[in-house]
Amino acid sequence: MTIDINPPDATVFAPTLPHAYDTHREHWDSPARLTVSLLLHAPYYLDAREPGHYRAVQMPGGVGGASQDPPGGPPHGQVAKVSQYEFGLTNGIFRLQRIADRLGLPYAVALDAYGVRTVPGLARRMAAGAGEVVARGEAATSIIDSRMSADEERDYVRRSLAAVRDATGVAITGWFGPERGCTDRTTGILRDEGVRWFGDWTVDERPVALDGAAAGLTAVPFALDTEDAFQLYTRGTRFGDYEQILVDRIDQLIADADVVGPRFLGLSWAGWVLGQACYADVAERVLTRLAADPDVRFVLPSELAAPGA
């Protein structure tokens, strides 16, 4: 057997959490077999690379990416790519919002600092309609990176929280990092800055309370395999197959509840992806099915961070 040795400068993901289901883990006292949280994303694509900003190597939709860019970053004016993100901010996110509203379902919306400052009316309309507003960092193309110092990372979190809070006028207690970027410091920083839950880790099929430096913070898992951008763009799944993946996962989670107790499903959908007319029927059919199922309850993510949720 070959043992892989991490390089000395590597950031190792090793939270103090069991890596598999343990029979001794305390029961999650949820009143339904399946609890669902709907999180709608309205990310802003920052075309220009600014000093101190870090991009993901590759992003869904083919934008960004140090591996595919010329020296100094991607060229400006990637109209064919950037316009899809712009569509999500001005049309797609509102289409998803209307679907949830017609079904009477609660939902949270994740906004970033550049989006609320750049798109007129976005923050106000989202705050008025959503049950919860979540901070989504500074921009889709500005992530938390291990090359940041502790002070730089803390400042990034503070700037992001303040921008979304000031633009919407509501308290922000949830976090979803762009591209799920984080370091081994992030959870402690989020806890220190008043965040009560975050959605970057897919650690389980139930909320998980953290301990140690992040005690008081809850990981609310939004799985990658049900995330629209990951399935439809990163994996290239056809939208009909994506709908089947969602249906199969719902059926399996409800069945699993009889064995391991209540389960959780986080739906992480973006306006620039499932908010497109060609995909929106998938969102409507899946949400309609969930809303009619007596084994399912919908809650806001922040409700799962409370004791006894």
Q: Where are the domains of the chain?
A: 34-49+63-304
Main-chain dihedrals φ then ψ at residue 30, nearest 5 degrees: -110, 140
Token reading at 59: 């992003």
CATH number for the domain running over 34-49+63-304? 3.20.20.370
Three-state secondary-structure class, residue 84: helix
Task: Please report the DSSP string for 2-67 in residue order.
Answer: PPPPPPTT------SS-SS--TTSPP---SSSEEEEEEEEE-----SPPTT----SS-TTS---TT
Least confident segment among 67-76, 123-132, 242-251: 67-76
Span 196-235, pLDDT tens digits: 999 999 988 999 999 888 999 999 999 999 999 999 988 9
Of the pLDDT bands very low, low, confident and very high (cuts 50, 70, 90), residue 70 is very low
What pairs with residue 36 in β-bridges? 265, 298
**pLDDT (mean) for 105-121:** 96
The whole-number pLDDT of residue 10 equals 65
Of the pLDDT bands very low, low, confident and very high (cuts 50, 70, 90), residue 43 is very high
**pLDDT (mean) for 12-16:** 54
Higher local confidence (pLDDT), 268 or 50: 268
CB count within 10 Å of CB 134 equals 26
The whole-number pLDDT of residue 164 equals 98
Closest CA to 60 of 90, 77, 39, 81: 81
Of the pLDDT bands very low, low, confident and very high (cuts 50, 70, 90), residue 76 is low
* pTM of the model as a whole: 0.88
